[in-house]
Amino acid sequence: MVEQQRVLITGVDTELGAAVRDHFRAGGASTVGTCGSPAGTSAEALTIVADPADSTAVRAAVAQAAEAMGGLDTLVTAHALPHVAALTAQSMDDFWAHVDATLTGTFLFAQATAEHMRDAGDGGRMVLTTSRWHVGGPELAAVATAAGGIAALTKSLTRDFGRFGIGVNAVAVGAVESEWAVCDVAGGAGLPPVGRRGSVTEVARTIGLLCQRRLGAAVGQVVNVDGGLSRNRV
């Protein structure tokens, strides 16, 4: 059962973002999505075009979402395509474009949403998605940098806003059929222990669980959804 009724989901033009929106809508929640370009908008539900690296655009999107839904209980962040390139072959422009679209965007949406939740006085939940390749891998310097930053940001947000009833967790995704599967190929990951690759629907269900307020003190954690590939503790 979905507890949250007013959910903001970034990156709904990606396979994961779309699956998250479908999960919450199936449970009866109101949703607003964001995407980076008009091509990602949908006639079925409100989708706001906002550059995730533009603080003004992000704040406007969060305010518009809260107004449209009469408040904001939950934030879930999904991201645009990963950047896979040999370390010596990638430009700084490409490197920072990926970091801004993922890490900077996550920070800005979390910052604006946390301030809204704090000021409203009702608390809320956030789940920040990241890549299991925060551990690093060949041709994944940009991905690892952004993903590691999101994992660290999860810990910091919890300490900054936990006292306001805002719970923050992250989901580190790998071995899942989506646009991000190229990272698993670059990193040389084989078939996970469960014997198959996961789906974005399974990731969305995990996110939905972590968004439930009844989890209370289960915050500040990075949960791996990768079929058992990861053996690290973050």
Domain edges within the chain: 6-225
Instruction: Tell me the backbone φ, ψ of residue 144, rounded to 5 degrees.
Output: -65, -40
Q: How far apart are the first and last CA of the chain?
A: 28
Compare 194 and 161 and report the one with higher pLDDT. 161
195, 196, 227 from 199: Cα distances, Å: 13, 10, 10
Correct CATH for 6-225 of 3.30.565.10, 3.30.70.1140, 3.40.50.720, 2.70.98.70:
3.40.50.720
Give residue 68's pLDDT. 96
Instruction: Report the chain's mean pLDDT, rounded to a whole number.
Output: 90
Query: Per-residue pLDDT averaged across 78-87, rounded?
Result: 86
**Angle (nearest 5°) at CA 36 between 96 and 59:** 90
- Out of 115-119, 131-135, 178-182, 223-227, the most confident range is 115-119
Confidence category of residue 138, pLDDT binned at 50, 70, 90: confident
Give residue 234's pLDDT. 47
Give residue 186's pLDDT. 74
Confidence category of residue 40, pLDDT binned at 50, 70, 90: low
pLDDT at position 233 over 60: no
